[in-house]
Structure 1
Amino acid sequence: MKFKTIFLGVLLVVVSQLSAQNAKEVLFKIDDKPYYTDEFIRIYKKNLDLVKDDSQKDLNHYFDLFLGYKLKVAKAYKLGLQHGTKYQNELNSYRNQLAKAYLNDSKVTSKLIEEAYTRNLTELRASHILISFDESVKGADTIPFYNRALALKNRIEKGEKFEDVAVVESQDPSVKDNKGDLGFFTAFRMVYPFECAAYKTPVGQLSNPVRTRFGYHIIKVTDSRPNKGEVAVAHIMLAKPADNNVALLEKNQKTIAEIYAKIQQGESFEALAAQFSEDKSTASKGGVLQRFGAGQLSAEEFENVAFSLKNKGDISQPFETQFGWHIVKLIDTYPIQSLDQMKVELESKIKRDERSLIITNTLAQKLKSKYSFETNTKEYKNAEKAVTEEIYSQTYELPKDKENLRGDIATINKTKKIGTPSFMNYINSQQKNKLTTKPLNKLVAELYDKWKDEQLIAYYNENLENEFPDFKYIMDEYRDGLLLFELMEQEIWNKSKSDTLGLQAFYESNKGNYQWKKRYDVAILSSTDEQAIQKASSYLQKGKDIDFIKQKLNKDNKVVLMSKSGLYEEDYDVLKKMTSVQSGVNPVFKDGNYYFVVQVKNIKLPENKTISECKSKLVNDYQQFLESHWVDNLKKEFTITIENGTFEKVKAQLK
């Protein structure tokens, strides 16, 4: 759904609203549904500095765009697209994402961001011993596990080697391979309580037993170092064949060695990347990748090599990753970013981390002051009586006779009543967590407090549109934007793909737009050595194949000649630089530091592309053709009443 994300993102730029403006008047009606001046003014002002085309700043033109947009939305409602399950699910999903920004405590979040940034400045190396037990074990039941962990710490402090104790006692399955060593890490790499304990423990010392959801840990911090920041590198890559074809694997290994040999001979890394790298997204840019930090790539070998290069311009030897063969060149190094630069990224990570619970709990406490919460004592007592000891063995079932459990157990803000079944279902759902609090009345009270927090946050979430006008505006427009996407998909995009007769007719009427240029089936040989390329030209004229020529000229581990073959259009990079392109072996020519000789095996004259050969562009053009006639048809389908006098007042106000 990446396309939908892009579409809606662009759409929301066009129609975003952030604050209420002036008293509203009816600007126009579509089938008696009014659309108001305040929305038009709000949207126009928001977009005034965003649009690049000055024509779109013209109020008459902008009005036409706005009217066209509302006509499309009206068509979507007319078709009933707002009732679709897919639409409802996506709208709810978006609202949940948008609401996250409001279900937050800014002060607590800021402190967590600062803490994470400070820790991110330093990479720690630590080992641990884990005493594992279930997450549901609480209170006094954890004491035996704590004492066992503490006893292991005492043994180490009395002289036993940490690694020896870890191998025998730790219940982390990876201990067999790493003896408890977890390597280097920074913030967010470990569960939060573990991270906190590690960063509070001096190098060379042991932590006290620390509880996480996995059990108790004894942590030994063995090293620390400044965060290495980021690096920018370029690479030449030969991709690993998808089928692991042995012959191709061997060919790639040989070719990467040849490329490295040419680099060692002084040839340009960037030029070789442009010619031979199979990473198409970077080859034309000399192989340059976006800069990255440790742990950000999925290939650890690549990171290790990149960070091992010390000076700008250093080049690695060929090495292999799961993606293929690489040669890496260091472009630059970058120290860790400032707090302001990392703030958005850190906040995003916090929301996905255990730290988010700290924020949620703080919000719940604030809402207890903001909203009234009244408990119906009678209903609460009925609920309490309905819970039995089976809940501890996770075999509890809700009572079949629910006569006493049908009332309202709570009221929020004197307006929203919540039925007792809601709390009973919550209790039933929580027994999977292996509840241990006793006696039963204490457990029910504990669960009620948690349920109460959830209900307060849910009530707050449900009323965000009333609490925050900007939230309401964004939701209203995303709702319409999503409907428009569904409509476009149904009326334009799907039609352009499935309407084979219409597509064929459009193709026949526009064949001239879909043509191959003159194409050449060629072998292209290149070298920085003029004598070598002249010899290669001579061999080609004698009918020798490429493998024979390379075997003759690439000797003594020295690569002087490279080649590529294929069917290329006349404006292909090398071909367009030639004075003329003829059948057979063409004259040697020079471009920059390279000499080229091109053998033309076959020439294909310009011809029409078949539909399958131009399908992507053809469908895109057909979509644009259909859409260009769409609004005109909608204007005929709906009754439109424009309040011209009101629009003139709006124009005067905005000017």
Structure 2
Amino acid sequence: MRINKIILGFALTLNCLAFAQSEKKEILFSIDDKPYYTDEFSRVYNKNIDLVKDESQKDLNQYMELFVGYKLKINKANKIGLQNNVKYINELKSYRTQLSKNYTSDTKVTKALIEEGYNRSLKEIRASHILITVDENAIPADTLKAYNQALDIRKKALAGEKFDDLAVRFSQDPSAKENKGDLGYFSAFRMVYAFESAAFNTKKGEISMPVRTKFGYHLIKVVDSRDNRGEVTVSHIMILKPATTTDSQEDIQKPKSRIQDIYTKLKQGENFESLANQFSEDKNSAPKGGLLPRFASGQLSSEEFENVAFGLTIPNSYSEPFESQFGWHIVKLVDKHPIKKLDEMERELDTKIRKDDRSRLITNSLTTKLQKKYTIVRDENLYAKIKALVTDKFYSSDWILPTNMKDYNQVLFKVENYEVKATAFLSNLDSQQKSNLKIKPIGKLVDYVYQNFVDTQMTNYYNDNLEKEFPEFANVIEEYRDGLLLFDLMEKEIWEKAKQDTLGLKNYYNANQNKYQWKNRADVLVASSTKMDVVKNARKLLKKDQTADFLKETLNTKEVVNIMTKQETYEEGSDNFPKNGKFKIGVSDVYKDGEFYFVNKVSKIVPAGTKTLDEARGKVINDYQQYLEDNWVSDLKKEFKVTINQEVFERLKASMKK
């Protein structure tokens, strides 16, 4: 974000929690009758005082000057309308959204979920399941039917029938016919949260009770548990099995024979990546030397491949040829990626949680708190009127809104002083037809949608009023807002102006030419080589006034670069002036520095003098920017009326020095 670029000497816009002050809030000064208070001044001073290196800025009088100057700039930014810039508005909105997460999330719940997710990520569970599908919004009768069906299957398993046979017979997961319900190994965040929780809470060898997810009811049998193997990066060479089924032993043996030939080449020292590029039949990885994206257990469709890959322990070692359901492979280990520590994964886990079903727990926690915090006042007659409008056509998405919505442009309920119109709820109801809700009777469905709508409105109201609820949040947002405005203002009024105001820049340069002076300079040619005899020959040629190009043409060949040259102009006393070099015209002796031999030739001495504007442009622009900024506050004081309450300031200084 642009705020990271705001390094203006006066650190007023750092985003940290505000320092609370207990003194009475009074008007310290005003700018065009806009008041600024003692509490903000003391809070900002105390917050930034340890960051200020200039001792003069720690003086309260001096700090007052800086603070007033800062507020003058913000007033200027608002006066010229920078607060209406779309880019500024979007950036401020984005920052507020990020910061508000600390206030709209239950930190205890979030922390518990992070710790739970991390602890589970240390393990890998192997499980099988049987799925009985039922719609997420199914009516109670259908839900109960699916539950009882799952319960009956569980009884069969507990009575001794094989779980995998039951999966083939009863599971409505299409893959069960092939995998017999076996899901392989998985860790945290690989399955939906309810399924994951049931799997991690079921002991090895046991079968869970029916578990409800958005897909239906699951029976989960935990087959095994092991430590998480982390992730691995490998390259592979693959020879595919024949595309069609064949009984020919020759066709069956061809892939095996070919992979064995490649393996022999590897053992003879040939490059793995080159062989993969030339022979591997995995078209995606072959051009990259066989390199595959890093993966964890259960992410590939071949358990054999995963086991061989994780079995390799030494980087750059490779496996013997092995067979999978796809063909024959040789795998080379590139790198292993073990599970990180909790503090290293905290941000990553938080992101995963917010994208996962777990996030509902955080949302529900906040909703519960808000339901206790706010009293919802509803117009019961209006609500009854709305319920009477909704018919069973809702279930088939054929229900339509009343033709005259003006009759419902009334307040349906209030959250504190925030009024929500019936028209908004009706529109929400209309949109919910696409959700395929099956709750019956229709009155209960309306109540369900209404409660969710109220919860959303409460959350929105709470979020919109964070500044009123939390003074420290308001302070941080205000400082960030000012920081963005100040950056935009500086860019417009100072930085860009200094670059584009060519006449002003030239006048400043003419008035300050004494600041832009060259010292004595020397044009130096430096020739270097690892071979002393080459440099000696170069020295002889330089003494004959030969050029750098002549040296390279004479001393280098097509196969070998014996001599290298560099020609630059150096100021007298500069740190990068060639060693053993003398500030006079002529050729130096040969000297050694590190592994190289050198010779220098000074061809010209340029006397000290004034730099041209082009030669000093970068420095002149920087100095001109500072000049403009130094005089800027004085100009702003003429543009705006500043009134300081000196009596209040003296009392404030006295209290802050205690």
Place the TM-score, normalised by the shorter chain, in its bin.
0.5 to 0.7
Mapped to 1, the partners of 2:137 and 2:616 lie a distance apart of 63
Aligned pairs for 1:381-400 (under 5 A) are: 381-394=384-397, 396-400=399-403
Give the structure 2 partner of residue 40 of structure 1. Answer: 41
What amino acid sits opposite 1:548 in the alignment?
E
Alpha-carbon distance, 1:445 to partner: 0.9
Give the structure 1 partner of residue 104 of structure 2. Answer: 103
Aligned pairs for 1:301-380 (under 5 A) are: 336-337=340-341, 346-347=349-350, 350-380=353-383
Is 1:170 paired with 2:181? Answer: no
Give the structure 1 partner of residue 266 of structure 2. Answer: none
Seen in structure 2, the aligned counterparts of structure 1 residues 587 and 478 have a Cα distance that, compared at 3 Å, is same
Mapped to 1, the partners of 2:123 and 2:603 lie a distance apart of 60
Give the structure 1 partner of residue 639 of structure 2. Answer: 637
Q: Is the 8 A contact 1:520 1:567 kept in 2?
A: yes
Which region of structure 1 is more displaced relative to structure 2, 107-116 or 56-65?
107-116
Seen in structure 2, the aligned counterparts of structure 1 residues 504 and 349 have a Cα distance that, compared at 3 Å, is farther
Give the structure 1 partner of residue 3 of structure 2. Answer: 4
Q: Is the 8 A contact 1:585 1:597 kept in 2?
A: no
Give the number of the structure whose alpha-carbon radius of gyration is greater.
Answer: 2
Alpha-carbon distance, 1:358 to partner: 0.7
What amino acid sits opposite 1:369 in the alignment?
K
**Residues 297-334 of structure 1: CA deviation (Å, up to 9, x unaligned):** xxxxxxx99x9887xxxx979xxxxxxxxxx999xx99
Seen in structure 2, the aligned counterparts of structure 1 residues 569 and 351 have a Cα distance that, compared at 3 Å, is farther
Give the structure 2 partner of residue 224 of structure 1. Answer: 226
If the length of structure 2 is used for normalisation, what is the TM-score?
0.64
Alpha-carbon distance, 1:632 to partner: 1.9
**Residues 415-461 of structure 1: CA deviation (Å, up to 9, x unaligned):** 33321112112222333333232332121111111112112222323
Mapped to 1, the partners of 2:130 and 2:536 lie a distance apart of 69
2:51 is paired with a residue of what secondary structure? Answer: coil
Give the structure 1 partner of residue 64 of structure 2. Answer: 63
Give the structure 1 partner of residue 554 of structure 2. Answer: 543
Give the structure 2 partner of residue 27 of structure 1. Answer: 28
Give the structure 1 partner of residue 291 of structure 2. Answer: none
Aligned Cα root-mean-square deviation (Å): 5.9
Is 1:408 paired with 2:434? Answer: no
Q: Is the 8 A contact 2:82 2:489 kept in 1?
A: yes
Give the structure 1 partner of residue 124 of structure 2. Answer: 124
Alpha-carbon distance, 1:96 to partner: 3.0
Which region of structure 1 is more displaced relative to structure 2, 62-71 or 48-57?
48-57
Mapped to 2, the partners of 1:497 and 1:150 lie a distance apart of 80
Seen in structure 2, the aligned counterparts of structure 1 residues 492 and 587 have a Cα distance that, compared at 3 Å, is same
Which region of structure 1 is more displaced relative to structure 2, 93-102 or 153-162?
153-162
Mapped to 1, the partners of 2:203 and 2:394 lie a distance apart of 44
2:439 is paired with a residue of what secondary structure? Answer: coil
What amino acid sits opposite 2:366 in the alignment?
L
**Residues 346-374 of structure 1: CA deviation (Å, up to 9, x unaligned):** 55654454322211112211222222112
**Residues 197-219 of structure 1: CA deviation (Å, up to 9, x unaligned):** 45335678887776655777778
**Residues 58-104 of structure 1: CA deviation (Å, up to 9, x unaligned):** 11221111111111112123223344444444444433333222223
Mapped to 1, the partners of 2:362 and 2:505 lie a distance apart of 54
Alpha-carbon distance, 1:649 to partner: 2.1
- Pick one of 472, 475, 487 that aligns with 2:477: 475
1:548 is paired with a residue of what secondary structure? Answer: coil
1:549 is paired with a residue of what secondary structure? Answer: coil
What amino acid sits opposite 2:175 in the alignment?
S
Mapped to 2, the partners of 1:81 and 1:115 lie a distance apart of 46
Q: Is the 8 A contact 2:13 2:482 kept in 1?
A: no
Seen in structure 2, the aligned counterparts of structure 1 residues 329 and 392 have a Cα distance that, compared at 3 Å, is closer
Q: Is the 8 A contact 2:153 2:166 kept in 1?
A: no
Gaps of 5+ in 2: 233-269, 271-293, 297-307, 318-333, 539-550
Mapped to 1, the partners of 2:342 and 2:565 lie a distance apart of 49
1:652 is paired with a residue of what secondary structure? Answer: helix
Mapped to 1, the partners of 2:604 and 2:144 lie a distance apart of 82
Seen in structure 2, the aligned counterparts of structure 1 residues 534 and 115 have a Cα distance that, compared at 3 Å, is farther
Aligned pairs for 1:511-530 (under 5 A) are: 512=516
1:101 is paired with a residue of what secondary structure? Answer: helix
Mapped to 2, the partners of 1:654 and 1:423 lie a distance apart of 53
Seen in structure 2, the aligned counterparts of structure 1 residues 369 and 605 have a Cα distance that, compared at 3 Å, is farther
Mapped to 2, the partners of 1:499 and 1:543 lie a distance apart of 51
Which region of structure 1 is more displaced relative to structure 2, 63-72 or 474-483?
474-483
Mapped to 1, the partners of 2:210 and 2:565 lie a distance apart of 65
Give the structure 2 partner of residue 422 of structure 1. Answer: 424
Q: Is the 8 A contact 1:209 1:216 kept in 2?
A: yes
Q: Is the 8 A contact 1:19 1:469 kept in 2?
A: no
Q: Is the 8 A contact 2:429 2:449 kept in 1?
A: yes
Mapped to 1, the partners of 2:656 and 2:637 lie a distance apart of 26
**Residues 148-176 of structure 1: CA deviation (Å, up to 9, x unaligned):** 9998997994557999x99x94399xx99
**Residues 555-612 of structure 1: CA deviation (Å, up to 9, x unaligned):** xxxxxx9x999888879x9976743499999957353xxx235699999999999999
If the length of structure 1 is used for normalisation, what is the TM-score?
0.64
Alpha-carbon distance, 1:56 to partner: 2.0
Give the structure 2 partner of residue 432 of structure 1. Answer: 434
**Residues 35-73 of structure 1: CA deviation (Å, up to 9, x unaligned):** 222221222122223333333211122111111111111
Which region of structure 1 is more displaced relative to structure 2, 506-515 or 376-385?
506-515
Seen in structure 2, the aligned counterparts of structure 1 residues 575 and 17 have a Cα distance that, compared at 3 Å, is closer
**Residues 230-249 of structure 1: CA deviation (Å, up to 9, x unaligned):** 9xxxxxxxxxxxxxxxxxxx
**Residues 618-653 of structure 1: CA deviation (Å, up to 9, x unaligned):** 765554443232212112212222222332222222
1:224 is paired with a residue of what secondary structure? Answer: strand
Mapped to 2, the partners of 1:203 and 1:523 lie a distance apart of 75
Seen in structure 2, the aligned counterparts of structure 1 residues 516 and 95 have a Cα distance that, compared at 3 Å, is farther
Mapped to 2, the partners of 1:495 and 1:392 lie a distance apart of 64
Give the structure 2 partner of residue 236 of structure 1. Answer: none
Q: Is the 8 A contact 1:193 1:211 kept in 2?
A: yes
Mapped to 2, the partners of 1:89 and 1:134 lie a distance apart of 42
2:42 is paired with a residue of what secondary structure? Answer: helix
Give the structure 2 partner of residue 49 of structure 1. Answer: 50
Alpha-carbon distance, 1:391 to partner: 3.7
Give the structure 1 partner of residue 245 of structure 2. Answer: none
Mapped to 2, the partners of 1:403 and 1:184 lie a distance apart of 55
2:560 is paired with a residue of what secondary structure? Answer: helix
Is 1:465 paired with 2:476? Answer: no
**Residues 508-556 of structure 1: CA deviation (Å, up to 9, x unaligned):** 7679489999798989767xxxx8x878998987835476127xxxxxx
What amino acid sits opposite 1:196 in the alignment?
S
Seen in structure 2, the aligned counterparts of structure 1 residues 566 and 391 have a Cα distance that, compared at 3 Å, is farther
Q: Is the 8 A contact 1:583 1:599 kept in 2?
A: no
Q: Is the 8 A contact 1:514 1:609 kept in 2?
A: yes
Q: Is the 8 A contact 1:21 1:42 kept in 2?
A: no
Seen in structure 2, the aligned counterparts of structure 1 residues 159 and 379 have a Cα distance that, compared at 3 Å, is closer
What amino acid sits opposite 1:543 in the alignment?
T
Alpha-carbon distance, 1:403 to partner: 4.3
Count of residue correspondences? 542
Mapped to 1, the partners of 2:592 and 2:183 lie a distance apart of 59
